[in-house]
Structure 1
């Protein structure tokens, strides 16, 4: 936890916050703070800064908050991702938040098992939990927007064209002829398929909507690997 992300319910006053649960455990067991110490904090969708520990017990930490710095800039990226396997979805979501992805669309695909959509990790509570972990890692405060679309064709035909307007549109797919571009500095839409990639029909529909097929070379990567590789290649995400 490189930053304690504070939500509205954590504030007892405009400049006072109370930490409990996971964040309190981190203060005790990892940071080993004492009263008077400063810790990095940020307000969700707001500034980052520091919090001075006013009191510390086994049940809560009271901190005096000063937020003076803007969070890191977001990536100019709309990421459209075929719903990953639940066991890796948490990691992918945390990675997206860490890298600065703010606009995430989860879509269905032929190779996505219908049971994937039943995972509890898609609940609002768990989405917020995992995005928070990703933001805390990156010292960021702005929660990504997650949109869920369980029907591929209606999404591609009815919504995707609007999302692509004014943006460079890419679909990452093994076997295409164009290498993934680098060092982009423009609004971009990136479509990433499930394990094994989109079907030829799905790639065709995405290309008909305006997406350009690109690849990362001959190796087939897992989704949890492909996403950070693609994002870092496109935008120099760690700049």
Structure 2
């Protein structure tokens, strides 16, 4: 955790209360903080700032002199449409995308998504993973996450409304590379809008990627297939490699 995020209910005037066991353990064992020390904190959905530890017990930490004056960092102007991955990968991906600042995440079914993934208890814990990502990335605004269990209806009826300029679909067998794609749209760059050449939607498959039928449906909605090299990457690597473009 690079900051401690608390819900609005835990704040009262210039005071705040930490009562989540994971946060208390982190403050004690990782930070080694003591009464009088300053912590980086934030209010979920609000601002970031600092507070001073007034009192510590095994069950709660009282904070005083709370000052929340810093706005959270801006979101990346991108929606990630991600084929629901294996449960053990889901936590890491939600954390990473949240820490990177992705604005919207759509978890979607695909041919290579096993039906059992949709019954995973981890889907009920997405808020936990988002909180971990926010505390890692020092942010307070959670991404919007939606679940879409039907691929074709989503692509044909809803995807177009998410595309504000362009869209890409990661596909290792595409002839067009991401670098070539960005060069083609470099004319859109400007000093005031440095991200304007980047697409507003990125579609990323599960392990094994998209099948041809899915690529064709996505292409029908204006998604340009691009590769990020000839290596077939794990989903985590592909997500971070692609989203790195928005951080540059």
Aligned to 1:51: 51
Residue 188 (structure 2) pairs with residue 188 (structure 1): no
Deviation string, structure 1 residues 21-70 (Cα, Å, up to 9, x no partner):
11111111111111111000011111100011111111110012210111
Which structure 2 residues correspond to residues 114-133 of structure 1 after superposition, within 5 A? 114-123=115-124, 126-133=125-132
Q: Distance in 2 between matches of 1:110 and 1:229?
A: 23
Q: RMSD across aligned C-alpha pairs, in angstroms? A: 1.3
Aligned to 2:214: 202
Which structure 2 residues correspond to residues 1-239 of structure 1 after superposition, within 5 A? 1-11=1-11, 13-20=12-19, 21-64=21-64, 65-123=66-124, 126-164=125-163, 166-181=164-179, 185-186=195-196, 188-232=200-244, 234-235=245-246, 237=247
Q: Distance in 1 between matches of 2:14 and 2:120?
A: 38
SS in 2 for 1:87: helix
Number of paired residues?
232
Q: Which runs of 5+ in 1 are unaligned?
A: none
SS in 2 for 1:76: strand
Q: Distance in 1 between matches of 2:9 and 2:149?
A: 32
SS in 1 for 2:17: strand
Q: Distance in 1 between matches of 2:225 and 2:49?
A: 42
Quote the offset at 1:14 in angstroms: 3.0
Quote the offset at 1:10 in angstroms: 2.1
Q: Which runs of 5+ in 2 are unaligned?
A: 187-193
TM-score, normalisation: structure 1 = 0.94
Quote the offset at 1:15 in angstroms: 2.6
SS in 2 for 1:178: coil
